Amino acid sequence: MRILISDYPDSMMPDHQLEKDILHAGLGQDTVVDVYPYSDEKREEFLGKLNAADALLTAFIKVDDEVMAHAPNLKVISLNSTGYDRVDLAAATRRGIGVCPVGEYCTSDVAEAAMAFIYALDKGTKAYGTHIDRDHKWDYTSVVARPRLQEQTVGIFGFGKIGKCIARKLTGLVRQILVCDPYVGVEAAAANGARLVEKNELLASSDVIVNVMLLTPETKYYFDGPAFEAMKRRPIFVNMSRGLCVKEDDLVKALDSKRLYGYAADVLADETPDLAHHPLVGRENVLLTPHSAFYSTTSLQLLERISSENIVHYLKAEKDRVFKLVN
């Protein structure tokens, strides 16, 4: 067996020993595990390495039909991420290649990061820090005051594991929690302390809006100009999903026109952004982190373990033991 672990260097684990240990223990010591830092400029070299692989472990490399055509032995694509929008699922299914994202490893971590964003923006933490560090200004009125969080309404788009976890953490801390998700019923929302509403009601009624929806064709650019116009309460907007859920040009306009009080995101539309020229960088009311909301010693170990075990179980025809198989 030959396994290829490959991704953009900034997205790869600093050490791959745990992955190798799990793959060798499950598939045999003669299994070849090749670690290859990917770059778009060396795509042909990547395709050459993929040619002999039985399995690919990645997260952010675009795996389309052309890539799969260069991989005649490929049987499974294991993703050390919960999303799988970078893989052409129809092409993989047609070619008999299993696609296995990590279904759950960082729910609590991402929910905690969302909470940190909410508190930091609500209290003007970055703005005050900038005024103090840069201007040596010690003035509490330099930031526009907001109502107490316990008087605010929080709206959550997407009510899967992470959305539910955020709602549970917010219960008792805010006035009410609204949720919008076409796949969730009234009872499921209520069981987690939330009220199910339609998109426009959530946009118009929320002081804080959190996005944790999966990126799909329906949710791409879900937050565009009309969506920002519908936000009537000058909310804080927190994006914990994918950057492409947000139309960034329209977001910048909403910030410039003060339709938003602040914005926080763990993601940008470009997974390798040009930060020196990005219009969201350098703003006192914008908080950005480098897709790091999952980051903890606990989640890192689970991420490596589950994605590697998925390969082992799939190649050993133990599909019932794969954590999540989406095709």
Is residue 40 predicted with pLDDT exceeding 90? yes
The whole-number pLDDT of residue 83 equals 83
Residue type, 197: V
- Distance between alpha carbon 54 and the CA centroid of its chain, in Å? 27
Is the pLDDT at 103 greater than 90? The verdict is no
The answer for residues whose C-beta is within 8 angstroms of residue 299's C-beta and 6 or more apart is: 105, 106, 109
Q: What are phi and psi of 289, to 5 degrees?
A: -130, 150
* Alpha carbon distance 126, 32 (integer Å): 47
- DSSP 3-state percent helix, strand, coil across the chain (nearest 5): 40, 15, 40
How far are the Cα atoms of 19, 139, 224, 245, 264 from residue 261, in angstroms, in the given order? 43, 19, 16, 19, 11
Inform me whether the pLDDT recorded for 104 exceeds 90.
Answer: no
Is 287:262 a contact under the CB 8 Å cutoff?
A: yes
pLDDT, one tens digit per residue, over 49-96 is: 999 999 999 999 999 999 999 999 999 999 998 889 899 999 999 999
Report how far apart the first and last C-alpha atoms of the chain are (Å, whole number). Answer: 22
pLDDT one-digit tens code per residue, 244-256: 999 999 999 999 9
Burial class (CB in 10 A: 0-12, 13-18, 19+), 325: middle
Average pLDDT, the chain: 96
Span 222-233, average pLDDT: 98
Whether the per-residue pLDDT at 35 is higher than 90: the answer is yes
Each residue's pLDDT tens digit, 273-307: 999 999 999 999 999 999 999 999 999 999 999 99
Longest dimension (CA), the chain: 66
Phi and psi, residue 270, nearest 5°: -100, 125
Q: Helices (DSSP H) in the chain: which residue ranges?
A: 17-27, 43-50, 65-69, 89-94, 107-122, 125-135, 161-170, 186-191, 199-205, 225-229, 248-256, 297-315
pLDDT band at 10 (very low <50, low <70, confident <90, very high): confident
The per-residue pLDDT for 144 is 95
For residue 140, is pLDDT > 90?
yes
